Amino acid sequence: MKIVVLDGYTENPGDLSWDALGKLGELTVFDRTGSDSSVIRENIGDADIVVTNKTPLTRDIFDTCPNIKAVAVLATGYNVVDYLYAAEKGIPVMNVPAYGTQIVAQYTVAMLLEICSHIAHHDAEVKKGRWEKNLDFCFWDFPMIELAGKTAGIIGLGRIGQATARILRSLGMIVIAHSGHETEEGRAVAQYVDIDTLYAQSDVILLHCPLFPSTEGIINKESIAKMKDGVILINTSRGPLIVEKDLADALNSGKVFAAGVDVVSTEPIRGDNPLLTARNCLITPHVAWAAVEARQRIMDITVDNVKSFLDGQPTNVVNK
């Protein structure tokens, strides 16, 4: 069985091992493939199992690479694969669910705490010599925000949303949530409300919902107008949930006090993205998921997915 990894670098830049996957077949690993269909076809060749992270697998790729028998995605999201067409051709598409619950929740709250406390800024100022020259025993350049007693509104209360809610509750925050599916597990960590109530009551809004047609652009000028003045917005989910020009305008006007985004509409970010020049906008390069422990879980689950396919009982199939 021939196995090809099309874009392995972000999963394993050198601190993990492909050996377990290599034991399952004849393995070829490309650091990067890109989106050029001719390069994708060339790199796939006559592979039986294709492992991808962000390299697109379209209808054309499936038609012109007839040896493909299974696809393993090195992520939870699988929108880069035409999984419906793959199903028509009898090709299972397997993903990696729930590998990053704790680290994404941790990162989400870390972004919020950085906005509230400006730790990196003050560290840099101390190292420039400002503290040793200061007339007083302390200084601060921005308002310090205490989160206890404030309301956090979470849009999307799945595994990551619930993990985030537990951390926020430990900080003394009131947690409300809006989600397409209400569960007992969700009720244990947050109060479910309708979306307009969430906009109106939240001091902090955190996005943990998947990207569907119904959620694309959910943060826009109309929804922002329903929010509290001075709200803080955090997005570690998917970039297209936000209409970025509308958020930039709201940041620059002060309607939104600050935003933290780990994802944007086009990645890598384009130089003309309006958030790059917006006031009080913290941007990181889609790394909330990338702790070594989480990446090892991706590796382990992907190996298990491939094993299960070879055993004739594929697991984590998204296109049954």
Q: Is 293 a catalytic residue?
A: no
Sheet holding 26-29, edge to edge: 26-29, 2-5, 49-52, 70-73, 93-94
CA 39 – CA 197 distance, rounded (Å): 49
Count of residues making up the chain = 320
H helices within the chain, ranges in order?
A: 19-22, 37-44, 59-64, 83-88, 101-117, 119-127, 159-170, 184-187, 195-201, 221-225, 244-253, 292-310
> What is the gyration radius of the CA atoms in the chain, in angstroms?
22
Which residue in 122, 178, 238, 295 is the catalytic one? 238
Q: Measured at the alpha carbon of residue 91, what is the angle toward residues 85 and 93, in degrees to the nearest 5?
A: 85
Could you tell me which residues are beta bridge partners of residue 50? 4, 71
To 10 degrees, what angle do helices 119-127 and 101-117 make? 60
Residues 217/243, Cβ–Cβ less than 8 Å: yes
- The tokens for 166 are 């537990």
Q: Is 286 a catalytic residue?
A: yes
Q: Is 122 a catalytic residue?
A: no
Cα dihedral value 113, 167, 207, 230, nearest 10: -40
Which residue in 42, 267, 270, 293 is the catalytic one? 267
Residues 255/123, Cβ–Cβ less than 8 Å: no
Which residue in 122, 178, 286, 295 is the catalytic one? 286
The identity of residue 252, as a single letter, is: N
CA 86 – CA 318 distance, rounded (Å): 11
Question: CA 172 from chain center: how many Å?
Answer: 25
So which residues are the catalytic ones? 238, 267, 286
